[in-house]
Structure 1
Amino acid sequence: MTLIAAQVSAYTMSAGRIGSIIAGIVAVAGIVIGVLALRRRTRRGSTAALTGGLIATALGIAVAATADGGLGTGNGLGGAFVAIALGLAATTLGGVGLRRAH
């Protein structure tokens, strides 16, 4: 038995797409904060980047786990994969920043 997900319009904002967008924004913010924290060697910025990265990764995993269908079905699966990758990058930057801040 095959499960076929209904296609949605390119402009329809599903819950998965919104979750992926939010996770992506948090991940990009974590990356920016992480880079700035590495430059300035601040513990506060590194902690913020680490936290943002973990939140973005967790949200991306949640969206990917609950997506019905594959890529291109409008459930935010592609955005979830991008958010996971960016979240891991932000987490890494935050971890390196914390290590250097000590």
Structure 2
Amino acid sequence: MSASAALMAAAEGGIMGDGRTGANLALGVGLLGLAIGRLALARADGRISTGNARTGGMSAIAVGMAGTALAVLHLATSSGGPGTGNGLVGAIVAIPLGLGAVLLGRRALARCHRADRPADRMPV
């Protein structure tokens, strides 16, 4: 197959797995957000002493929102249904992963905020 024929096949969607690229990217970003959120939560609890939990929490929120946005964009632009090879099921799975990263990041930020409170204002 010549290079021009390969480019034509790619443009027409003839290469297997082409429709799944967006879903795989959204899945990867969602999993990365979950990992960052989990590390930020561990830092906020004091189990890991290196790094800043607040920065990790904000990063997890940003990465989780990006993963969710990529998954929703892929769902909106894909044609066909589940099982057609367009990556719809992967995009559907990526949405809760991204939202989970946002929730973990928010939880880490809340724990940082609670830890920064002065001792006289802590609830008993």
TM above 0.5: yes
Match of 1:17 in 2: 20
What is the Cα deviation at residue 13 of structure 1? 2.2
Q: 1:32 aligns with which of 35, 55, 62?
A: 35
The normalised TM-score by structure 2 is 0.70
By relative contact order (CA 8 Å, sep 6+), the higher-ranking structure is 1
Match of 2:90 in 1: 79
**4+ runs of 1 displaced by more than 4 Å?**
none
Match of 2:105 in 1: 94
RMSD value over aligned CA atoms?
1.6
Match of 1:52 in 2: 63
AA partner of residue 94 (structure 2): A
The normalised TM-score by structure 1 is 0.85
Equivalenced residue count is 93
* Structure (1 or 2) with the larger CA radius of gyration: 2
Instruction: Determine what percentage of the aligned residue pairs are the same residue.
Output: 46
What is the Cα deviation at residue 74 of structure 1? 1.1
What is the Cα deviation at residue 12 of structure 1? 1.0
CA distance in 1, matches of 2:16, 2:83: 12
**Structure 1 gaps, min length 5:** 1-7
CA distance in 1, matches of 2:77, 2:83: 15
AA partner of residue 25 (structure 1): G
CA distance in 2, matches of 1:84, 1:12: 24
SS of 2:85's equivalent in the other structure is: coil
**Structure 2 gaps, min length 5:** 1-12, 45-52, 114-124
